[in-house]
Amino acid sequence: AAGVIQSPRHLIKEKRETATLKCYPIPRHDTVYWYQQGPGQDPQFLISFYEKMQSDKGSIPDRFSAQQFSDYHSELNMSSLELGDSALYFCASSSTAEAFFGQGTRLTVV
């Protein structure tokens, strides 16, 4: 069965650079979520989209933005990267109460 696909799996960026993370949800899922998981932490909700419209916003810094495109894939754009942005970034998708997660993108800011 198709799962949530995230790319890239690993990303190394320098401080003040920009990063773009991509997410391809499970086909026919209408909602996409982004979460950030710091080292040794639980995942924290960043933002979600329902049918390509932003539906909810969590603790997402102003330096970050996201969108969902007409083909339902989503991108998380992160600018002016800081050392503290180093984390695992997960995308999840759902069409019911069950949310399925991708394998994540590990972002390292040096």
Residues of this chain that interact with another protein (CB under 8 A) are 31, 33, 35, 42-45, 48, 55-56, 58, 90, 92, 94, 97-104, 106
Query: Closest CB to another protein among 44 and 79?
Result: 44
3-state secondary structure 40-72: CCCCEEEEEEECCEEEEECCCCCCEEEEECCCC
- In angstroms, give the least distance from the CB of 45 to another protein: 4
Q: From the CB of 89, what's the least distance to another protein, in Å?
A: 11
Cβ nearer to another protein, comparing 79 with 99: 99
Minimal distance in Å, beta carbon 67 to another protein? 18
Percent helix, strand, coil in the chain (nearest 5)? 5, 55, 45
- Residue placing its CB nearer to another protein in the complex, 79 or 95: 95
Cis peptide preceding 27, ω within 30 of 0: no
